[in-house]
Structure 1
Amino acid sequence: SKCDFEANSCGWFEAISGDHFDWIWNSRSNLSAEFEQQAPPWDHTHRTAQGHFMFILKKSRSLSQVAKLQSPTFSQAGPGCTLSFWFYNYGLSVGAAELQLHVENSSDPTVLWRVLYNQGNQWSQATIQLGRLTQPFHLSLDKVSLGIYDGVSAIDDIRFENCTLPLPAESCEEPDFFWCLHTKACIEKLLLCDLVDDCGDHTDEANCVPELQCNFENGICNWEQDTEDDFDWTRKHGPTPTLNTGPMKDHTWGTAKGHYLYIESSEPQVFQNRAALLSPVLNATDADGCTFRFYYHMFGKHIYRLAIYQRVWSNTRGQLLWQIFGNQGNRWTRTRLSISSRRPFQILVEASVGDGFTGDIAIDDLSFMDCTLYPVDLPTPPEMSAPVTLPPHNCTDSEFVCRSSGHCVEKIQNCDFRYDCPDQSDEAFCVCSFEKGSLCEWYQPIPENLIRDSNTFRWGLGNGTSIHHGERNHRPSVDHTINTTDGWYLYADSSNGKFGDMADILTPVISRMGPKCTLVFWTHMNGATVGSLQVLSKKDNVTSKLWAQSGQQGAQWKRVEVFLGVQSHIQIVLRAKRGVSYMGDVAVDDISFQDCSPLLSPDRKCTAQEFTCANRHCIAKDKLCDFVNDCADNSDESPFICSTSSGHCDFEFDLCSWEQEQDDDFDWNLKASSIPAAGTEPAADHTFRNSSGHYIFIKSLFPQQPMRAARISSPVISRRSKNCKIIFHYHMYGSGIGALTLSQVSISNQTKVLLNLTVEQGNFWQRKEISLSGDEDFQLKFEGRVGEGHHGDIALDDIVLTKSCLPSHWSMKEEPAAPLPTGPCPHGYRECQNGKCYKPEQSCNFVDDCGDYTDEDECGTSCTFEKGWCGWQNSLAENFDWVLGVGSHQSLRPPKDHTLGNKYGHFLYLEATPVGLQGEEAHLKSAVWQESSAACTISFWYFISAKATGSIQILIK
């Protein structure tokens, strides 16, 4: 069973003598200097020059030289038999070698293995599957010289494993085993009638039903080529036409004379073309189901996918039972699948072409156990449900028909979260629990040609009773509503489609939503290759991402909140994206819209404690300037009301009056959700609820390390503030979350912790409101601390200090009792270049207080860009930046500037490069001007090239 060649050649010998090109048993140390360069420097067994091996010794330059190392003759080999050895094939003209199988009474050998040319100055291992061989056989390792051989060829440490047949047993009484008639071996009953002689006397293959087996020796039996695929399986014997892919022999006989089916991955086939083979229609013989056995061969660099489906309707693909991707090695592999079905069914074997010609996939020895043939074809799929029948009515196209009474209401009242029909049917199908297997009026925008294509990745209704064994680890066994296997839920079935496919399901058009409207639902995302789930809003064919989740989240239902706020005439979209394989379905249940009723028209005047909105609605004054559209017309968030709020920041351009601390470990990052995230950052900001809005966050990825902290600090707040509050929104999601701390620090450096969050808070924005007070002026500090893992980002957005929070004249950066600094200007003043002094508030007020414009120099009040940026700067909120440059005829920018009118003059420009992708923004910010007159105007010159498609806007912040 094994040979290390230390004692002798173990019966292996040179079969062709007399041509002076022979396999020789020896060691490197025993060779003369004339021949030692033709042998490896050491053997494989002991790694010494004294160790023995077989190698080729050449003593002639004849053109007809062949070295054939032949094994002893073996009587037979068991089903699991494999051969392994170590070989040496080194040198510029060493040539190829191949291992051949010679079966008694067969004239043509079968090539089992081949090595091409130089493999490096090293020992390499080869493993070859021999499998069941019922006739005597021997092996040979052949090499042809062709007169130009120059190199080292050797073999060592040959080993045969699992090559014996099962030993005889005195009895075989266990119910799941079979006692072989003549050899008296005891084998599993699952090996019966599988087209393999496991007993060694063929009695395990006696009394079988031929119609339930196919070895492809005489065609494809009662299997059929599918007519709905892209091309057909090919019947073949010997190797496939392309090198380095496909089998060299079949599985039934283990020789090149045996037949198998394979897919040819070369032209005209293209990536993901499918070939499908259909079994006869079958029935399970009992309630335990039946078994399907087969052998597959998937060898090659460009192998893609082999899949097994079970279908109960004709013209469909059915449910995915099993699939495998990629190169599985140059061997036949057995697979056994249990099939459970109360209806007649068919098995569909489907192979898909990879992205290259070395992607041949083969199958052989297909068999069924405990199944019976069913003589009738499968039925066609049931038709789609009929549309709702409306009662008699006189409603116009602009009105909604109440389902029971036929009353008419305005369409804007349909799906507005208020009951207007007597039977409440105007709101009946807008929200859906999916019980009773109904989608309500939610729908999927699937092209007509794909509606009946079962291969399409799509949403469907399911429950625990419809799960087959291949889905148990990635589909919910119970729903969330009633927590039973009978309860229904919505899921995107990853059995169908391919990696990256997306499935959308949409609500009916929702006419209106109120300011507090929140979407709440439960998700189940489990499995090794779960894709992602997104929530989007759609209006006028424009979609905005509101929420996203990707990857495995565990085998339980999880609650999700998505704030929607005031919206009109929109649809909510649930978008599932398929992962790399079938092992990961996305499921949702119990979708609800909470607090979504639009505001009622007021029938009274607002009180003194309320704010009167522009639309005459009344809201509490403490809801002003909190980045929530409480009025439903945004008048409570008007810049004219909110611009004077200290610490008020939505992070759209910068950190506003908040500042990064200097004594922490790193800084908070300003980010737009449109920039790709690591998976735990918000999909949308809180301000605008879309992916273009900004927020600040701390990264948990490298180079950050656990327990490192980033801090931002507020302006100093006066101790005289009464009813002062901070309102902010935070997002803390991920398994490796760190900590978010809000502290109040007095001017005497006394710290009080107001909030400390240390665990995951959910994948949505949460609002927090905290009252503030102190005996001294104080400052607020947010600290984000990195956790132990890479999945735990912390984000902040929409921070508000209410209007009752009064600013202090102190700066925490200054010691209030410190003496005045020495110099020409008193404490708190700045020095002009001419030696005069000015106050900070005199900077950027459009007045030359210094007399030499020092106080206005870096304000951007007047700038030709000939001496730099003049105080203008790019916003940290965007990755796409303005650049200072000069004219050029080689790009789309202006050939000359406006100031000097030549190519040497400077200007700011945006380059049309891949850095600036469609929809990205570049923000150019001025300094903060203190105030301006009523007649103040700004003028500038701009240039937009003929091919430009973007736009320029001026905003006041």
Structure 2
Amino acid sequence: GHYISVDTSYKGEKAVLSSPDLYSEEWSCVRLIYQIATTSDTSPDPARLNLYLRQEGESFDRLLWSAKEPSDSWLIASLDLMNSTKKYKLVLEGEIGQDKSTSIAVFEIKITSGYCIECDFEENHLCGYVNRWNPNVNWFVGGGNIRNSQSILPKDHTLNSALGHYMYVDSVYVKHFQEVAQLISPKTMAPISGCLSFYYQLKQESSIVFTVYLRDMSGFYEEIWKTDNALNADWALAEVDFNAPYPMEVIFEVAFNSAKGGYVALDDISFSPVYCSNQTGTPFNPVNAGCNFEEDLCNFYQDHKDGPGWSRVKVKRNVYRAGDHTTGFGYYLLANTKFTSQPGYIGRLYGPTLPGNLQFCLRFYYALYGFFKMSGSLAVYIFEENHVVQEKIWSVLDSPKGVWTQAEISFKKPMPCKVVFVSWCKSFWDCGLVALDDISLSLGSCQAADLLLPSPGECTFEKDECVFTQKKRGRGSWHRKRGPTPTSYTGPRGDHTTGVGYYMYIEASNMVYGQRAYLVSRPLRGTSGKQCLTFFYHMYGAGTGLLSVYLKKEGDDEEIPLWRRTGEQSISWLRGLIEYESDTNYQIIFEAIRGVSIRSDTAIDDILFQAGPCLEVEEIQFSSGYPDSLNEIEY
């Protein structure tokens, strides 16, 4: 047969293969048979094979999958494609690194309707299912013309004939007590829930344990089905409710107690997005357990017997007191704001009830002001539903004062529970202010979320400069930095993404008045319809100059101004929103101009390109200075 390959004559370049226009109104599965071959063991810049989804109306391709592990045999990758009404293309990209002995080959790309975890085992790639090799007990392919087992079945289930195939595991080679054979499904790449069904046959002389597990990316096993020890001389149907909100593998595991245990056969694994049992409950939506406090407390509430613990407040843009994390001029929560006659205070903020037995990742931002002792000023507890059992899962140790810092906590509890944010202080002299904002909850552990592929069109500058390059690196250039800038009374004290990450800024001390620095995106794909650009900017310092954003269309020398700010704006990171259109390929340019003094460090962070109009609109696209220097807290 034939295959396509990329070799090292293209060192440092990318080879791109694009599919025709595709439609998938039903859920479908892409299977890719590939190999990355190399003779060297380690390479600082390994070859990569990437698969992108290019959707109509999007300026960015979404990375679906990426591989860089070399192998000496063909490998299979299975990727779920969610149903969509838009046209799309699949784009295969081979990146040859600096290694001279590498080649990347692709043997087959196949798109089938249905889910990747479904399989009838009639094709030789076994739908990407793999057997975890064990010296004695393994899953084998049975049926067809294969006659290699003492307890072979007369017929498979799919074709109901001797020519059909199935998977089986036999006890004939068992040497040790409780040896285990595992058949592992491809990883689910998109959130799915519903009914998993399969057919199995069981012939046993002594006890066989046949179990189905879900395994998440942190290696945690959850049993979802186990056979009852009835004899099944014919194919029996098993159905089990299945919920994979984050990437998981399904594992079919068989354990024997002796060499005369018998066998287990498996065939026709299928999936339906409707639960087997008539569950009508709506699946839990983690969005309802988060809040940015712009409108109200969302689904959070306080216990009034504690007294006024947390207050929802906002601060107008000013150069003394930082605003909220969401926009820089919105609402956030503040504990211990109103002076009371009591010597200390306690504030408890209760979240909504969360279902049990799911893995969660909780993220939130906090900022502390004026504490002598940090410990105990903010803690997070889990309350089980009866409010009797409480467990502390996080507390602040030490953090830079007045900087919005991100905290993330993974947890999983067997019972329904609530997350409670507690701020308390025993004596008035120790008490400062605790601020809380942008609470979000997602399914899966935080570590698993970090492994997820980045969303297209997002740049946080944590790893590199993403799609941006400098027009001229030199004195008038943008620098990637973490922590505060060197000059006092100007620039941010931490980034916007986590408080301890990276941002881009201009260092005014190295520039002269009126000198410009350009950060230019690579050419982006033009689309019909509106696009929305969101970013955060920091303009603090008495001598601050200008920050402008331009749109430059391909083949056109003119740079169209989209947005501008002049002079000092706020001590906070502020959100900028720009709505624009371009049906030809284009570039976005961030231009900073140094102001009259060295207190002119201008910074940007967290840039996000999104298709479609902006959900909110900024009233002023071009403005100078901040309106008033009020720094009172508004209740």
Give the alignment's TM-score, normalised by structure 2: 0.33
Give the alignment's TM-score, normalised by structure 1: 0.23
More contact order relative to length (CA 8 Å, sep ≥ 6): 2
Please identify which structure carries the higher strand content.
2
